[in-house]
Amino acid sequence: AQSVTQLDSQVPVFEEAPVELRCNYSSSVSVYLFWYVQYPNQGLQLLLKYLSGSTLVKGINGFEAEFNKSQTSFHLRKPSVHISDTAEYFCAVSETFNTNAGKSTFGDGTTLTVKP
């Protein structure tokens, strides 16, 4: 079984400040890791993913995340946020060799609010 814990349910930050959204996961096997963003009344949009290789992953909209296997973490960062980054962010994991094909396990989300 796998699980995802997003350590902060809400993160308020001022515009142009840096931000980190924290994600820890638990799994007995190797995993793929994802971050999604959800704007109000919309579906989820893939920000970035870690599959293998370099532990620092760059995504869209200036976001990046670092995979830390020893700490089982995949924290999302952005050096300077904009008002338009205000949204719900979800961390998700999928087992790399999964008999239950297609299943991604999501955290409960972090609400990022960027204030002017």
Partner 1 sequence: ETGVTQSPTHLIKTRGQQVTLRCSSQSGHNTVSWYQQALGQGPQFIFQYYREEENGRGNFPPRFSGLQFPNYSSELNVNALELDDSALYLCASRLGGQGQSLYGYTFGSGTRLTVV
- Does 74 bind partner 1 (CB under 8 A)? Our answer is no
**Which residue of 10, 28, 29, 43 would you call a contact of partner 1, by CB under 8 A?**
43
Bridge pairing between strands 64-68 and 56-58: antiparallel
Query: Which are the contacts of 102, defined by CB distance < 8 A and separation ≥ 6?
Result: none
Least distance (Å) between residue 26 CB and partner 1: 15
H or E stretch covering 47: strand 44-50
- Does 96 bind partner 1 (CB under 8 A)? Our answer is yes
φ, ψ of residue 38 to 5 degrees: the values are: -130, 115
Q: Which residues bind partner 1 (CB under 8 A)?
A: 4, 32, 34, 36, 41-46, 49, 51, 90, 92, 94-98, 100-109
